[in-house]
Amino acid sequence: MIAGILKEKIGENRVILLPETVVELIKKKVEVWVESGAGARAYSSDEMYVNAGALITTAEKILDGADLLLRISPPETGWMKQIRGDQVWIGVLNPLSDKEMVQQLITHKLTTFSLDIIPRTSRAQAMDILSSQATAAGYRAVLDAAMHLPTFFPMFMTAAGTITPAKVMIIGAGVAGLQAIATSRKLGARVEAFDVRTAVKEEVESLGAKFIEVEGALDDKSAGGYAVEQTEEYKARQRQAVHDHAIKSDVIITTAQIPGKMAPKLLMKETVEGMKAGSVIVDLAASTGGNCELTVNGETFEHNRVRIIGQSYYPSTLPKDASKMFGKNALNFMSLLISKDGSLNLDFEDDLVAGTCVTRDGEIVNPRVKSLYS
């Protein structure tokens, strides 16, 4: 079998597999072709891929001859007609939100796997790109906030006086939020965090942060580790709690998301207007509408002297390690599709294979995606 690594879309600095991961794939008896320049923005040259055992070629040749088509970004529209149903696309297709893309995949009868919908089971942990990339996002968000903040993060007691530590509030203590807590703590800030899933209270506290409690959250165990929509009454109480803590914070990092839905609005305009001048908000949910009412996706601006950064693409700003982690996840997933002799083996009896498959033979396979389109 041949796996082909395609160059990412403009603005995406990561690459799906670094040369070091290509070595692992070749050990599984898979031939690897790489589009020239595919790893350049992740500091991996064509020469490094050749040394890893890959062949450097063009996108045309890969689209025509590879069995596995590998790219983080979705396929270009122009490629849809060219890709055949017997080839397998592996990447991130955002099928829970990108309806147009899913329609195209159905129309062209493509066989596609989207790593962002892999079931959240313990066996899938090593394949979970949302987790690994959220780690990069949470870390980078804190560094970005620190760079924009007009004050220090840590406390200093110096001959020039005492500097009080920054107060950081994290909204959403999932993977990105927990990493943001850990990074803020390492930089010496005082941290508090809030999440609808009260199960994370212990994790928050073990990282040295305070958990903000709001009673009455719906916690659906069947949602597989994800948050669920909350009642209007709870949302009002939550907004008040967020407001009370926000006006005392220097930095707020929001990460709250509900898969397949717009991000919940947790930080309202009046709250932002009550915050201290110079405070910074980093909204990691920007691409799904943002947790802050004022967020503009991909933009940084000031409102009432509070800086609002709407950024969902931090992993791309850490391309080497984000690609390293992404590639390891992708390799672990691909291992499910490769038989001992290196040939393709699509076993739809395997819950992870079936659960990650978006489309096949003109049909939607993943039940979560299917329910959105029926």
226: left (phi over 0), alpha (psi -120 to 50) or beta: beta
240 is catalytic: no
125 a catalytic residue: yes
The CA distance from 52 to 153, in Å, is: 42
| 222 contributes a contact to ligand NAD by CB under 6 A | no
Q: Which residue is nearest to ligand NAD (CB)?
A: 174
Shortest approach of ligand NAD to residue 288 CB, angstroms? Answer: 10
C-alpha dihedral, 103 to 109 to 111 to 117, nearest 10°: 20
Q: Which ranges constitute the DSSP H helices of 149-300?
A: 175-186, 201-206, 232-246, 269-274
| Catalytic, out of 43, 84, 123, 125 | 125
Amino acid at 67: D
Q: How many residues bind ligand NAD (CB under 6 A)?
A: 31
Our CA angle for 185, 186, 190, nearest 5°, is 25
Mark whether 133 is an active-site residue: no
Indicate the pairing of strand 161-163 with strand 156-158: antiparallel
Of the residues 44, 87, 114, 131, which is catalytic? Answer: 131
Q: Is 131 a catalytic residue?
A: yes
Active site residue 128: yes
Distance CA 298, CA 293 (A): 14
Nearer Cβ to ligand NAD, position 41 or 197?
A: 197
Per DSSP, 267 falls in state: B
Does 183 sit near ligand NAD (CB under 6 A)?
Answer: no
- Among residues 44, 49, 128, 314, the one annotated as catalytic is 128
CB of 343 to ligand NAD, least distance (A): 28
Strands (E), 119-271: 156-158, 161-163, 167-171, 190-194, 210-211, 251-254
With CB under 6 A as the contact rule, the residue among 195, 246, 310, 328 that binds ligand NAD is 195
User: Which residue, 145 or 263, is less far from ligand NAD as judged by CB?
Assistant: 263
What is the Cα–Cα distance from 365 to 374, expressed in whole angstroms?
12
Binding positions for ligand NAD, 257-296, rule CB under 6 A: 257-259, 264, 266
Using CB under 6 A, pick the residue from 92, 227, 325, 352 that binds ligand NAD: 227
- Residues near ligand NAD (CB under 6 A): 120-122, 124-125, 128, 130-131, 134, 171-177, 194-197, 225-227, 230, 255-259, 264, 266
Catalytic residues: 120, 125, 128, 131, 226
